[in-house]
Chain A
Amino acid sequence: MKTVKSAFKFKGGVHPDYNKELARAKAIEQMPVPAELVVSMSQHLGAPAKCVVKPGDYVVKGQLLGEKNGFISVPVHAPASGLVKAVEPRQGPAGGKAPAVVLDTTAPAPEGVDASPRTLPPLDWKTATREELLARVNDAGICGMGGAGFPTCVKLNPPPGKRCEYLILNGAECEPYLCADHHLMLERADRVRVGVEIMRKVLGECAVRIAIEANKPDAIAAMEKAFADVAGNVEIVVLPVLYPQGSEKHQIFATVGRVVPEPPALPIDVGCVVENVGTVAAIANAVERGEILLSRVTTVSGDAVAEPKNVEAPLGTKYADLLAFCGGAKEHPAKVISGGTMMGFAVPHLEIATTKTTSGLLFLSPRRVFQYSSQACVNCGRCVRACPMNLNAAEIAKAVEADDVQDAERLHVMTCIECGACSFSCPAYRPITQFCRRAKNSIRARIAAEKAAAAKAAAAK
């Protein structure tokens, strides 16, 4: 095992104010179970889980609430024991509504119900088969905890003919404010180590690269200690502090120098699997201890929060409860963001609940919030220089503004990773990222419509 500096620098990128000092020194705190949990069936990428409980049911901690619904999906479990008050569509952090189970955790267990939490039998990863381990990752409801929420068991099971040569652990945490992964690496380094061993067993022998930004020297030291006696090709790659270093494609380039082709290509096409450190720790817990994924570490921060903290909260904790646990708001926040400031979602109210992908919850005062404007582009080229995907963001935005989505497609808008570097650096305060997102959505809708039409035509024949 050795520690190396990243040898590859991608083009573009920006340096936002990191503001990590707010929560950097705060050890992970366990949050008690709040009185009400809102457990969404859509906490991951892909089809929402199929709800298997109904109002009036009493569920115990770890019990299945929603079963896996399709190949790209994961099951959802009860983060705490309680009475199902309702099963209804609730707004998620991203704005869309999805079915959610509302749990009253103060309700007493009915008589005759075994109230002990459900767990899975611990597995010895050294002797367990690959299939057993994959099934365990699936049964524990694990999906990517970095943000996208891609089902982990799908990622760990590459399609035939494709082999993982590099397992890359994403500990970059390049989003401002967030320290959740940082503290996870500090405090649960041994879990990450075990998780890596399990993943290596599942993926077959592969080299391991642990990618950490240079602004977390203590996390790098903790990882060095945990992996000191590891066998095989394992390296800790220290990345320069640059946003979006945590983007999958850029991390692959920064660590192993490989370039993932344009969509629909995936990292596995260049022999890489990238997994967030939190996910890796969850895999270790699921296998070694039989723990189901019922909670996650979330950074509650921002200049409008009384006590910024790194909180381990049950999934489905409402933002209002998280805020109360962190001492409430110092002043009325102008903006509440689920996630980091670069890619997070602004939320309209605090009744929204955490999911498996909620890495942060930020409360920003008016002084930290800026307004987008409808000024014209001055062609300064800052967005083009900032774009890590090397897109002509200015021209894409102008095309979308003129309703010419076709032109945006010609300018490779589908390659955009929506990292926000363009809007961040625009002196005219144009919502460039939103223009890209709009174009991508309408192109996706068009492709879906074309596919549906083709399927219909095929069926008619």
Chain B
Amino acid sequence: MATDLRISNISKIYPGCVANDNVSLQFKSGKIYALLGENGAGKSTLVKILSGVISPDNGEVFLNEKNLKLSSPLDAKKNKIGMVFQHFNLFETLSVFENLSIDATEDNKSLRVRINEILKKYNFSIDLDVPVLNLSAGQKQKVEIIRCLLRSPKVLIMDEPTSVLTEQETEELFISLKKFCDEGILIIYITHKLKEVLSLCDEVAVMRKGKVVSVSQTQNEKVETLANKMVGQKLAKIKKKINISKNKDEIFKVKHLNFYSDDPFETNLVNLNFSVKKGECLGIAGISGNGQNELFQILSGEIITPDTSIIFRNKEIAKLNPKQRREYLMAFSPEDRISQAAVPELKIYENVALNNFKSSNFFEKGLVNERKIKEHSKKILSDFSVNTDNVELKSQFLSGGNLQKLILGRELITAPELLICYNPTWGLDVGAINYIHETLIKINDQEKSTILISTDTEELLKLSDRIAVIYKGKLSKIMPSEEVTPEKLGVLMGGGSID
């Protein structure tokens, strides 16, 4: 039987934020629908309403013209709406089978039989008796999907399902989703990744600031058109003019950087030598796990290596710790925003104060000058268009893009001469990426230098003046970026040579 799901005039207002503003959409089985939008566009709120986790302030949901009262997750289950959450809703310490049996109505024996049938049908291989915490992200997601399938759902909602998957797991997921679709399950696929929409979905609804701004057939769309709809303005093509910097002074010079570790999860670095000129962006490309982590930590002073010479503004700083290096006007933006760059439990203004001990008058006689810090934080929030003006907000409630803007803002208030960043746009949506890129280019325009360690070749080619590739802890020769093509980088990143 065909399924028809209709959402009519749904609104949900949180204090200070309209999460869903009069949203109306219609879905029919046999197709895969994409719900596309940037972080914070209201997609997750909408699916939470559909799955009964939260109730809307206004509006109705119809399934096959029947008005659904979704006041708890049980109601959604009863009405055969299945949901796979972005952050898995599994019990990590319970076994896979226990996870699946918790809301089952049948006895364990017949449940096991049914689970095994599903495993076989869709070619999933999962051990039912191991605790969930031992599974990979892809397997956990399969457990969630099985949980939905056990209730023979009419609607299956996937909330950003690929954010934690490897490429291969993503492919497997797409194959399964297409199978489900052929069997008549209506699939709603929530994402901010444009390419996935184009390769998987039949129809796409774009959300922005709580509203549905467009509904269209995917075949009529391209990456650019979708991106523009999602962000709401024409995304400026960013192209940096290359600095003609041959005669400029070298501001940062690394010699004989060696690093040796017993830890099998760390990469040894072998004799790296490079320098950065004033106003230049040096890009370091590579597939992750080739020594970027170690390199970043050495450059920032988290790891001190013997016999290495690091000259910064004519001073030897190789033995200085990160705090001392900051005092010489270096700034750092690590890869992991949540655990390395910011303390998620602290408020925004507290995070701003964290690494500005000396440069500012945030602290007087050992006391915290809260007023000054807050003023300053407000300035960062507005200068770097962070999507809040509440400096009391805990940092963990910022989206990835906003947190990254905050971190960059914090790093840049000291007007550093050199900014070292590692994957600054990892996991961000298009609008935020554009903003970060513009900021990084602006830094170079002001005659300050940057080192950009990144796994994203597109980003590197866009921003760097010169590029080197790191492979198994060794650095390739440094090339002017106009001589570099994505193909060349690909060869070097895979360990080949291009001479």
Partners in one complex: no
Binding site for B on A (CB under 8 A): none
